[in-house]
Chain A
Amino acid sequence: MALVSENVMKLFRGSGQSSAPAVPQKLNRRSSGMAEISRLLNSQEALCVLDLGSTSASNIQFLTEKGHKNYSEDLLRASLDPTLRVKDEAGNWATDGKRFLDENLTYGNALFDIVLCWNLPDYMEESLVKPAVDRLWSVMKPGGLLLAFFHTRDAGPDAPCYRFHITATDMLEMQEIKLPAVNRKDDKNSLRLQRVFNNRHIENLFRDFASIKFFLARDNIREVLVVR
């Protein structure tokens, strides 16, 4: 049992070794948040779902075979666009947040019933997180659901970033994301954990939303289900 829990811990902490396998491994995890989302997907028809993770055929299949409309936008990848990097007045490199929002999440107001954010806030550059969440608020329908995952404690900057494939109503397959060379800021091909949000930070991040529900998982991931 101890061995199993240690292995699960490693998934989110990173092993600290550089000898990562060439082919990213796929791992499964049960998700209480996804189970809640699935209840909505199964009880209503023709919902509009925005998936902000990496393009996933599994997710498209899961959503479209239930008759829902699937919108896909890899927001993390978009945020790493090197052309968004500009020098500010002090001469420091920063990400052009205005241009980022001009080019991404450009949907009509109150379009989406469900937004799948996955682990985006943990890995996206800090200056973009709040503006992106505010934009999500405006493109979601009142009563719509947003699912996001947060690390519960500092897992170190090398904690692997996963993409999530929905395999069943409450099961997700996780696959480590390796960055293409064009999106790298350094010689590493992994995304870096930017920060760890505590409960208060998360509540502030979603303060404009109607309600927020936390699910603490065994693997040190806090699943957050937010109602618009």
Chain B
Amino acid sequence: MDTPKSGEFAHIGKSVVIKGELSGSEDLYVDGQVEGTIELRNNSLIVGPNGNVKANVSAKGVVVQGKVEGTVNATERVELRKSAVVNGDVITQRISMEEGAFFKGKIDIQKEPGKAAPVAS
């Protein structure tokens, strides 16, 4: 999942601060600050390099380039890019992590039926 082009994702810019419950049915790119919860059941969340999310996140896929504090629950996959700083638990089927990513918490891999759970660096 690459960084989205403008228009592909709903976009929260780096000067925006949101406190509360955020839910939606489209993909979301957060480069600002969000505190509360983020729920995008069938869609993806990208936390941009300036993004600072203090929230429990539920989404199909989650890509982190910035900071996340809270539980990340992704039904498909989580990607931690090299600038990612994640403090909290991750529950997902697949996780990939770039060299330099910082993670503090528990990783719970939910295996797909009949498949091993891959982790890539």
Residues of chain A whose beta carbon lies under 8 Å from any beta carbon of chain B: 55, 57-58, 60-61, 64-65, 69-74, 77-78
Residue from the list B107, B109, B118 in contact with A72, Cβ < 8 A: B107
Q: How far is the CB of A56 from chain B (nearest CB, A)?
A: 8
Q: Which residues of chain A are within 8 angstroms of B109 by Cβ–Cβ distance?
A: 64-65
Q: Which residues of chain B are within 8 angstroms of A69 by Cβ–Cβ distance?
A: 106-108
Q: How far is the CB of A172 from chain B (nearest CB, A)?
A: 15
Q: How far is the CB of B74 from chain A (nearest CB, A)?
A: 15
Residue from the list A58, A72, A74, A77 in contact with B121, Cβ < 8 A: A58
A71–B95 Cα distance when bound, in Å, is: 14
How many B residues have CB within 8 A of the partner chain? 18
Give how many A-B residue pairs fall within 8 Å (CB-CB).
46
Q: How far is the CB of B39 from chain A (nearest CB, A)?
A: 25
Q: How far is the CB of B115 from chain A (nearest CB, A)?
A: 11
Residues of chain B whose beta carbon lies under 8 Å from any beta carbon of chain A: 95-97, 101-109, 116-121
Q: Which residues of chain A are within 8 angstroms of B103 by Cβ–Cβ distance?
A: 55, 72
The 6 nearest A-B residue pairs measured at CB: A57-B121, A61-B119, A57-B97, A64-B109, A55-B103, A70-B107
Is A73's CB under 8 angstroms from B97's CB? no
Q: How far is the CB of A9 from chain B (nearest CB, A)?
A: 27
Q: Which residues of chain B are within 8 angstroms of A55 by Cβ–Cβ distance?
A: 97, 101-103
Is B119's CB under 8 angstroms from A72's CB? no
Is B102's CB under 8 angstroms from A74's CB? yes
Q: Which residues of chain B are within 8 angstroms of A60 by Cβ–Cβ distance?
A: 95, 97, 107, 119
Interface centre among B95, B104, B105 (most CB of A within 10 A): B104
Q: How far is the CB of B87 from chain A (nearest CB, A)?
A: 10
Is B102's CB under 8 angstroms from A64's CB? no
What residue in chain B is nearest A58 (Cβ atoms)?
Answer: B121
What residue in chain B is nearest A68 (Cβ atoms)?
Answer: B109
Is B119's CB under 8 angstroms from A64's CB? yes
Residue from the list B104, B106, B108, B120 in contact with A57, Cβ < 8 A: B120
Q: How far is the CB of A168 from chain B (nearest CB, A)?
A: 16
Interface centre among B95, B108, B119, B120 (most CB of A within 10 A): B119
Residue from the list B101, B102, B108, B119 in contact with A65, Cβ < 8 A: B119
Is B105's CB under 8 angstroms from A61's CB? no
Q: How far is the CB of B102 from chain A (nearest CB, A)?
A: 6
Q: Which residues of chain A are within 8 angstroms of B119 by Cβ–Cβ distance?
A: 57, 60-61, 64-65
A-B contact pairs, 16 of them (CB 8 A): A55-B97, A55-B101, A57-B95, A57-B96, A57-B97, A60-B97, A60-B119, A64-B119, A69-B106, A69-B108, A71-B105, A71-B106, A72-B103, A72-B106, A73-B105, A78-B104
